[in-house]
Amino acid sequence: MKPEPIIVPIFIGAPMPGLTRLADLMPQINWQTVSPCIYAHDRDRSITETYKALAHAVSGQISRGLLPISVAGDCVSSLGFLKGLQDAHIQPDWLIWLDAHGDFHTEETSQSNFLGGMPLAKLVGRGDQNLMHGIGTKAFPEQKVIHADGRDLDSGEDINLKNSKIHQLSRTDDLKSLAIHGDSVYLHIDTDVIGKEYVPAQNYAVAGGPSPRSLANTVRWLADNCNLVGCSVSSWNPALPNADTSAIDSLSVLDALWGDPTVL
């Protein structure tokens, strides 16, 4: 059965309606949409309720025999996606996190207190766990996380990562050298892991990353050699120039997951 990817048009608790344009850009794909639950003046409740709905959608797709894939405005969506896997009684052997940034700040190390810089830390039980508890997500074992291509780390989160049990790879292509054949994998991709010369419509674009073609080859290797149980994607910014091109090029890395390599 072909995936029915889930669109979650929200960015850190605020609506991101431009993300639903995917249905027009790629009409051949059967997109599903989780409507964001927005509560005025209560960002955390908006995030919690939206990602509880994402968790329900993910577990529901698994029950139907589908590979769950989500595209959301931020990496915090991973908290809801992992909850969906847990609700379906799936505990992946590995969480593979592809991101130009660390996303490993806690409230103690972040100078901006930007939630988008903290989701991986929260997923492994670090920092304030109120959102994790609100969504109902259980912390993932730190030593079972692989972070690749974190080429733009902030002061503080670099020390957090260095002192953690997370496996760090300098390039996404290095995943092919790991002894993870046959293991179950939850894959999270922040599209800013791709070099900004290829997908410029990013809030936090960073030069030097893989091309879409190179990353697509890595994802195909994972799909061919591991048991991929889910894939969450943190998107480009649909309000920026070149957003449509960035959307298509970003999602081309999932060619191996659509069930038809000619879809995109």
pLDDT digits (tens, 9 = 90+) for 67-110: 999 999 999 999 999 999 999 999 999 999 999 999 999 999 99
CATH fold for domain 6-257: Arginase; Chain A (3.40.800)
Q: Write out pLDDT tens, residues 175-230.
A: 999 999 999 999 999 999 999 999 999 999 999 999 999 999 999 999 999 999 99
Domain-by-domain residue ranges, the chain? 6-257
Q: Is 139 helix (H, G, I), strand (E, B) or coil?
A: coil
Choose among 183, 192, 24: nearest CA to 100: 192
Cα 118 vs. chain centroid, distance in angstroms?
13
pLDDT computed for residue 263 by the predictor: 33
d(CA 77, CA 73): 8
CB 29 within 8 A of CB 71: no
Residue 6 neighbours by CB under 8 Å, 6+ apart: 31, 32, 33, 34, 54, 57, 58, 61, 68, 69, 70, 71
CA dihedral 22, 24, 28, 32 (to 10 degrees): 50
Summarize the confidence of residues 146-163 as an average pLDDT. Answer: 96
d(CA 94, CA 30): 28
d(CA 147, CA 119): 13
Q: Write out pLDDT tens, residues 164-190.
A: 999 999 999 999 999 999 999 999 999
Look up residue 23 and give its two tokens: 């249905």
